[in-house]
């Protein structure tokens, strides 16, 4: 699988140059066609590092990294797939008809989960600040326009709608200026999380433009700058031998030099992504400039729904000086019927994995759902009398008073998301619901979807 490269080349592959992926010749014509059909609906892009270094081509289509970046037949329901395939095969479908089918399917896939569209966008002087979300008191999310793509697209990504251009959350050149003014007016904000897409697709010059204004001495209350990125897995060269690598590290190091904490929230889905020696090298270089690496991933069927993999992943991360941080539940959007893992199973995977690692790796919290009220963690499955319950808590909440308060739901082995859980002990709703509805009256829309 790992053929040696002599030069560092960031080569990307899309539907347009699929033929250049030499190993794809191992697919049958039918598999190849299926890939092209599904890629009409979901974004597809991968790169040479993923293709050459991460995928085990002797094991496709089952290989987890292949599943992670190449659209799979099972991501569409049969009827959707067949409609689309007929239109493509018959050639009688005009491109306009094809686009219409594609759009219908996309809109049926809950493209905007958890009210992130309108609920979390803050205002300054009565006007929304594009490219900013502020859901939890202490942390503001910033989506730099140049960081709204990725080195490769993950098939399960909850931001998929953004990459195919139907997400109305337009990232029209968020002005650093307005964002900084907002931060100045909000002393409760201690953290800025720069996110995307993957902000580390930006070059050093763009990174500097985002970071420098945040180091303004007037923003003393801002203590932590976090960067959410999958680059350590998909393009570790970014920090090692990319022509811009030194400059990138220099731009990031300014955060630490300004006395703030630089947190790299690294996204890894599978232990194999931690194997290439260049990943350890990239991590080391970030640590040398003072960054602390924390890791996160959802539990995803076909990719990592196995406690042994999590155990191995957390162990290796700790060995590389990374701090396991979050295990997420795959969100209720996109091809989730293909990727979703029942909550009960996700909890089992978490528990199995965490009990087998040392305390240094037990820093990972989860499994956690990023839902409308906040991040809901499954803390356990309890048995009282003869009945089973999910014990839940909000580890982050829209209203900080809700944080850490335990609540309960009836056990359901098949439930995959919060909205499928019924409150336990005869309650008609969870404690936060009435306040969420009140929020709606006050002008926050979208909350009823939960």
Ligand X SMILES: *Cc1c(COP(=O)(O)O)cnc(C)c1O
Our finding on whether 159 is near ligand SF4 (CB under 6 A) is yes
Binding segment toward ligand SF4, per CB under 6 A, in 123-131, 150-158, 318-326, 383-391: 150-158
Among ligand X, ligand SF4, none, the one that 159 touches (CB under a kind-dependent 5 to 8 A) is ligand SF4
| Among the listed residues 267, 285, 315, 393, the single contact to ligand SF4 using CB under 6 A | 267
| Among the listed residues 154, 201, 274, 293, the single contact to ligand SF4 using CB under 6 A | 154
25 Cβ contact partners less than 8 Å away, ≥ 6 residues apart: none
Please work out the total of residues on this chain that contact ligand X, with binding judged by CB under 6 A: 9
Among ligand X, ligand SF4, none, the one that 237 touches (CB under a kind-dependent 5 to 8 A) is none
If the CB atoms of residues 197 and 324 are measured against ligand SF4, the closer one turns out to be 197
Our finding on whether 265 is near ligand SF4 (CB under 6 A) is no
Site pattern 133..152 for ligand X (x: CB under 6 A) = x-xx--x-x-----------
How buried is residue 259: exposed, middle or buried, by Cβ count under 10 Å (0-12/13-18/19+)?
exposed
Minimal distance, residue 227 CB to ligand SF4, in Å? 12
Our finding on whether 430 is near ligand X (CB under 6 A) is no
Q: Which residues pair with 390 in a beta bridge?
A: 381, 409
| Among the listed residues 136, 142, 153, 326, the single contact to ligand SF4 using CB under 6 A | 153
| Among the listed residues 370, 372, 416, 430, the single contact to ligand X using CB under 6 A | 370
Short-list 448, 388, 444, 383, CA closest to 419? 448
Our finding on whether 398 is near ligand X (CB under 6 A) is no
If the CB atoms of residues 31 and 139 are measured against ligand X, the closer one turns out to be 139
Site pattern 169..208 for ligand SF4 (x: CB under 6 A) = ---------------------------xxx----------
Our finding on whether 396 is near ligand X (CB under 6 A) is yes
**Span between the terminal Cα atoms of the chain, in Å:** 43
Our finding on whether 157 is near ligand SF4 (CB under 6 A) is yes
Minimal distance, residue 325 CB to ligand X, in Å? 7
If the CB atoms of residues 55 and 129 are measured against ligand X, the closer one turns out to be 129
Among ligand SF4, ligand X, none, the one that 132 touches (CB under a kind-dependent 5 to 8 A) is none
If the CB atoms of residues 192 and 300 are measured against ligand X, the closer one turns out to be 192
| Among the listed residues 106, 134, 135, 230, the single contact to ligand SF4 using CB under 6 A | 230
Site pattern 183..212 for ligand X (x: CB under 6 A) = ----------x-------------------
If the CB atoms of residues 154 and 394 are measured against ligand SF4, the closer one turns out to be 154
What Cα–Cα distance (Å) separates residue 219 from each residue in 16, 186, 191? 46, 10, 11
Our finding on whether 330 is near ligand SF4 (CB under 6 A) is no
What Cα–Cα distance (Å) separates residue 225 from each residue in 3, 78, 82, 90, 404? 37, 44, 46, 52, 24
Q: Which residues sit at the interface with ligand X, rule CB under 6 A?
A: 133, 135-136, 139, 141, 193, 370, 375, 396
Q: Which residues sit at the interface with ligand SF4, rule CB under 6 A?
A: 150, 153-154, 157, 159, 196-198, 230, 267
């Amino acid at each position: 699988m790992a053929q040696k490269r002599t030069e560092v080349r960031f080569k990307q592959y899309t539907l347009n140059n699929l033929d250049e992926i030499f190993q794809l010749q191992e697919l049958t014509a039918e598999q190849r066609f299926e890939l092209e059909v599904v890629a009409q609906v979901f974004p597809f892009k991968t790169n040479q590092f993923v293709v050459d270094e991460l995928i085990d081509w002797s094991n496709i289509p089952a290989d987890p990294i292949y599943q992670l970046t190449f659209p799979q037949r099972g991501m569409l329901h049969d009827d959707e797939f067949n409609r689309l395939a007929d239109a493509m095969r018959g050639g009688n479908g005009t491109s306009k008809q094809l686009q219409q089918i594609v759009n219908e399917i996309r809109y049926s896939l809950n493209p905007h989960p958890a009210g992130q569209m309108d609920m979390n966008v803050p205002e300054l002087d009565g006007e929304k600040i594009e490219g900013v979300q502020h859901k939890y008191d202490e942390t503001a999310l910033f989506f730099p326009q140049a960081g709204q793509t990725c080195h490769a697209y993950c098939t399960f990504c909850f931001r998929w709608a953004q990459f195919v251009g139907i997400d109305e959350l337009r990232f029209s050149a968020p002005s650093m200026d307005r964002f900084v003014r907002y931060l100045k007016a909000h002393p409760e904000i201690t953290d800025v999380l720069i996110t995307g897409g993957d902000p580390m697709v930006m070059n050093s010059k763009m990174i500097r433009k985002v970071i420098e204004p945040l180091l303004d001495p007037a923003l003393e209350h801002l203590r932590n700058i976090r960067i959410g990125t999958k680059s350590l897995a998909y393009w570790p060269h970014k920090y090692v031998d990319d022509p811009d690598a030194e400059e990138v590290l220099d731009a990031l190091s300014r955060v630490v030099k300004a006395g703030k904490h630089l947190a790299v929230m690294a996204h890894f889905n599978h232990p194999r992504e931690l194997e290439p020696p260049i990943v350890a090298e990239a991590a080391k270089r970030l640590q040398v400039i003072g960054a602390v690496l924390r890791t996160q991933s959802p539990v995803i069927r076909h990719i990592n729904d196995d406690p042994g993999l999590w155990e191995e992943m957390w162990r290796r991360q700790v060995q590389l000086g990374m701090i396991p941080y979050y295990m997420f539940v795959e969100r209720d959007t996109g091809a989730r019927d293909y990727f979703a893992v029942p909550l009960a199973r996700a909890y089992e995977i978490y528990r199995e994995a965490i009990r087998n690692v040392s305390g240094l790796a037990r820093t990972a919290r989860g499994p956690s759902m990023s839902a409308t009220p906040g991040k809901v963690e499954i803390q356990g499955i309890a048995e009282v009398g003869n009945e089973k319950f999910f014990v839940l808590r909000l580890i982050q909440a829209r209203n900080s008073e809700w944080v850490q308060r335990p609540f309960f739901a009836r056990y359901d082995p098949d439930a995959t998301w919060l909205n499928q859980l019924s409150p336990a002990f005869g309650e008609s709703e969870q404690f936060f619901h009435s306040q969420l509805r009140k929020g709606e009256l006050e002008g926050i829309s979208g909350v009823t979807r939960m």
